[in-house]
C-alpha cells in the first residue's frame, strides 16, 4: 500500500504535539483520553477497500483484525475496559469476505470474555461465520491452531495459534 499523505517536517510535528498537549488554555486543541479514536467499524471499512484491491486475506487479517486488537488495547490503556469495549459498539459492515467478517465478531467476543464486558448485540446474528480458515498460520502449525484456538474464533471456523494475537 503506497502512502498518500503529506510529509511534514519534524519541527511542525513537534509544534503540533506541544499545542495538543497544552490544551485549549494554552492555544492547543481540546483533547480527552475518554474518546474512542479507532473502531472495528472503521477498520472493517478499510478492510473492504483492501479486499476490493485484491489484497490477500492474510494481509487483510493483519491490517484489520490485529490493528483492531491494537486499537482496543490502546483505548483500554487510556480509558479503561468500558471505553475499550466501545471500539466494538458499532457493527462493522460486511467487508466482502466471510472470513474477515467472522474474525471481527470473534475478536469482539474473545475480548469481551477475556476482559469481562458485555459483547455487542450485533454478535447475536449468526451470519458471521467462516469455513475453516487459518489466518497467517503456516501449514505446520495447523494442528496447534485447531487444538488451541480460542472458543470465540473456533466457533466461527477460524483457527489461530496462541501466538496469533500476540503483539509487541
Residues 66-122 have pLDDT tens digits of 999 999 999 999 999 999 999 999 999 999 999 999 999 999 999 999 999 999 999
Domain range for 43: 35-128
66, part of any domain: yes
Structural domain includes residue 47: yes
Using a pLDDT cut of 90, give the percent of the chain over it.
67
Mean pLDDT of 3-23: 61
Residue 46 belongs to a domain: yes
Give the pLDDT confidence score for residue 124 in this predicted structure. 79
| pTM score | 0.79
Q: Is 122 a member of any domain?
A: yes
Rounded Cα gap, residues 133 and 100, in angstroms? 10
Distance CA 145, CA 139 (A): 10
- Position 50 scores a pLDDT of 96
Number of structural domains (the chain) is 1
Query: 113 or 20, which is more confident?
Result: 113
Domain membership of residue 53 (yes or no) is yes
Res 166: pLDDT: 80
Q: Residue 23 domain-assigned?
A: no
Q: Residue 94: inside a domain, yes or no?
A: yes
pLDDT at 161: 93
For residue 56, count CB atoms less than 10 angstroms from its CB and return exposed for 0-12, middle for 13-18, buried for 19 or more.
exposed
What is the rounded distance in angstroms from the CA atom of residue 101 to the CA atom of residue 7? Answer: 33
Whether pLDDT at 162 is above 60: yes
**Domain assignment of residue 6, yes or no:** no
Amino acid at each position: 500500500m503506497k502512502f498518500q499523505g503529506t510529509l511534514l517536517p519534524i519541527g511542525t510535528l513537534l509544534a503540533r504535539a506541544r499545542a495538543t498537549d497544552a490544551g485549549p488554555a494554552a492555544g492547543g486543541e481540546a483533547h480527552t483520553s475518554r474518546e474512542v479514536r479507532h473502531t472495528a467499524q472503521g477498520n472493517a471499512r478499510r478492510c473492504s477497500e483492501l479486499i476490493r484491491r485484491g489484497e490477500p486475506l492474510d494481509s487483510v487479517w493483519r491490517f484489520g483484525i490485529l490493528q483492531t486488537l491494537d486499537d482496543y488495547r490502546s483505548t483500554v490503556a487510556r480509558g479503561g475496559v468500558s471505553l475499550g469495549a466501545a471500539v466494538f459498539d458499532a457493527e462493522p459492515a460486511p467487508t466482502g469476505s466471510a472470513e474477515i467478517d467472522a474474525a471481527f465478531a470473534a475478536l469482539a467476543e474473545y475480548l469481551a470474555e477475556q476482559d469481562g464486558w458485555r459483547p455487542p448485540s450485533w454478535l447475536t446474528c449468526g451470519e458471521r461465520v467462516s469455513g475453516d480458515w487459518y489466518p497467517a498460520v503456516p501449514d505446520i502449525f495447523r494442528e496447534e491452531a485447531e487444538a488451541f484456538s480460542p472458543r470465540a474464533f473456533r466457533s466461527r471456523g477460524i483457527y489461530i495459534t496462541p501466538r496469533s494475537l500476540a503483539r509487541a
